[in-house]
Copies of this chain bind each other. A is one copy, B any other.
Amino acid sequence: MSQYRKNGICFPKGFKANGIHCGIRKNKTKKDLSVIYSEVVANAAATYTQNKVKGAPIFVTKEHLKDGLAQAMICNSGNANTCNANGVEIANGMSELCAKALGIKAEDIIVASTGVIGEPMSMDPFVQHMDELCAGISDQKGSDACEGIMTTDTFKKEFCTEFMIDGVTCRIGGMAKGSGMIHPNMATMLAFLTSDVAITSELLDEVVHEVVNDTFNMVSVDGDTSTNDMLCIMANGMAKNKVIDEKNEAYEAFKAALMDICVDISRNIAKDGEGASKLLTCIVQQAPDITCAKKVAKSVITSSLFKAAMFGKDANWGRILCAIGYTDAIFDVDKIDVTLSSEAGELPVCVNGSGCGFDEDHAANVLEEDEIDILIDMHQGEGYATAWGCDLTYDYVKINGDYRT
């Protein structure tokens, strides 16, 4: 099982990191520049936002990962470097400064940015602080790096897991930022994974896409797909397992471990959604197929009306049926059962597409909890999916009514 761990990204062998304040943000106590470094060149893969308006770092990172290799990641917060006329120039400049400071090739750098879109950006903070950042890397500074990528996140998302391949222990570490503008399509806002597993870059790319589709792409905070979403992984092979070069047992072991850590990070991004007070997990089973199950699960946790009802602890299950109904999936409404569930117990609300009546006091108890599961049994096939979201609160409106200032 994956678990929370300080300096999680430095848990696999050969990874160091750091995070500092370089001056992009006005608040000097808030770190805004992070680096992750692998002692050796690693195989690397990434998934990116499908938004047609893309941050400049996305273009530069795609170019750098064409050869499937990377050795470091540089990321700033406080400015998304998106919709800036000189954005690519800035992203290239960040790579070059970082490469020089670490003594590696600029083409082996993954670049990322997060923050306000369309805000002018200067090279100055990078010129002045890149050496300091890179000189300070250590395997005890993973949490500093995690802090440096946070925006309105309220807690750090750092996880690690380990697994065995032929008696060899391999490790995966990960960190992410989420919070707002979260409705990933192919990647999440920003997630950086490290591993010491030995795997070809082709298979690394394949497994990442498989796992991301079932984890990060099943999260929504507000339905807004960011311009800067990116998930990337570096696997440096320092665990010394036999290189994974086919879809064998070792591949499956790695995939299971990667799924495990990505589920935990995804859940925590949903839980720490902007203004969120509750984690909502929608589990759809017996759908006609997986595509339908995914559409239904994601539609429910994206519905503003349902999210507001959860904030108000109101078992207004009609809004669940409504959200199921406006997906473009094809299914029979009259077979659907819905149950709300939490540590306080189970609350069946709908059987065969119609209300089944429930005790309001019991409902209030079930919905009082911080983590609510919505179990949807469609009784018409084998499709299964899980999606993660959060409630819609006054604080979401407050945070986003005044984000820039």
Q: Which residue in chain B gives the minimum CB-CB distance to A394?
A: B394
**Nearest-Cβ distance from residue A117 to partner chain B, whole angstroms:** 2
Q: Is A261 an interface residue (CB 8 A)?
A: no
Closest residue of B by beta carbon distance from A355: B118
The residues of B that contact A312 with a CB separation of less than 8 Å are 400-403
Known: A180-B305, A312-B402, A314-B401. A355 touches B84 (CB 8 A): yes
User: How far apart are the CA atoms of A322 and B222 in the complex, in Å?
Assistant: 13
Per-residue CB proximity of A34-51 to B under 8 Å, as 1/0?
A: 000000000000000011
A226 partner residues in chain B, CB cutoff 8 A: 322
Task: Judge whether A318 is part of the interface by a CB distance below 8 angstroms.
Answer: yes
- Interface 1/0 per residue, A208-239 and B, CB below 8 Å: 00000000000000111111000000000000
Contacts of A227 in B (CB 8 A): 318, 321-322, 325
A 370-401 contacts with B by CB, 8 A? 392-394, 396-401
Question: What is the minimal beta-carbon distance from A318 to any residue of chain B, in angstroms?
Answer: 2
* Interchain CB contact (< 8 A) of A50 among B326, B353, B355: B326
A199 at the interface (CB under 8 A from B): no
**Does A22 touch B at the CB level, under 8 Å?**
no
- List which A170-188 residues lie within 8 A (CB) of chain B: 180-181, 183, 185
A325 to B55, CA, bound (A): 11
List B contacts of A396 (CB < 8 A). 304, 308, 397
Bound Cα distance from A185 to B322, whole angstroms: 13
Instruction: Output the residue of A305, A321, A357, A404 with the most chain B CB within 10 A.
Output: A305
Q: Do the beta carbons of A117 and B321 come within 8 Å of each other?
A: yes
Asked if A309 is an interface residue, CB under 8 A from chain B, the answer is: yes
Please tell me if the beta carbons of B51 and A326 are within 8 angstroms of each other in the complex. Answer: yes
- Residue from A82, A226, A327 whose CB has the most chain B CB atoms within 10 Å: A82
**Are B181 and A322 touching (Cβ within 8 A)?**
yes
Is the Cβ of A326 less than 8 Å from the Cβ of B52?
yes
CB of A109 within 8 Å of the partner chain: no
Establish whether residues A314 and B402, one from each chain, have CB atoms under 8 Å apart when the complex forms: yes
A74 on interface, CB distance cutoff 8 Å: no
Pick from B303, B322, B401: contact of A308, CB under 8 Å: B401
A314 touches B53 (CB 8 A): no
B51 in contact with A83 (CB, 8 Å) = no
Contact pick for A222, options B305, B331, B349, CB 8 Å: B305
Q: Does A140 contact B (CB under 8 A)?
A: no
Q: How far is A397 from B183 in the complex, measured between Cα atoms in Å?
A: 20
- With a cutoff of 8 Å between Cβ atoms, the chain B residues found around residue A254 in the complex are none
CB <8 Å contact, B316 and A116 = yes
Chain B neighbourhood of A352, CB < 8 A: 85
Tell which of A317, A349, A400, A403 has the most Cβ of chain B within 10 Å. Answer: A400
B80 touches A318 (CB 8 A): yes
Select one of B85, B117, B327, B405 contacting A319, CB under 8 A: B117
Of B82, B119, B322, B398, which is within 8 A of A117 by CB?
B322
Between A183, A222, A311, A401, the greatest number of chain B beta carbons within 10 A of the residue's beta carbon is seen for A401
- Residues of B with C-beta under 8 A to A127: none
- 23 A-B residue contacts at CB 8 Å? A51-B322, A51-B325, A52-B326, A53-B321, A53-B333, A83-B321, A83-B353, A117-B319, A118-B321, A183-B326, A222-B304, A222-B305, A223-B303, A224-B319, A224-B322, A227-B325, A304-B400, A308-B399, A312-B401, A313-B401, A314-B405, A394-B394, A397-B397
Residues of A at the B interface (CB closer than 8 Å) are 50-54, 80, 82-85, 116-120, 180-181, 183, 185, 222-227, 302-305, 308-309, 311-314, 316-319, 321-327, 331, 333, 349-350, 352-355, 357, 392-394, 396-405
Besides A51-B325, A82-B318, A224-B326, 7 new A-B residue pairs in contact (Cβ under 8 A), listed by A number: A85-B352, A120-B355, A223-B302, A226-B322, A309-B403, A392-B397, A393-B397
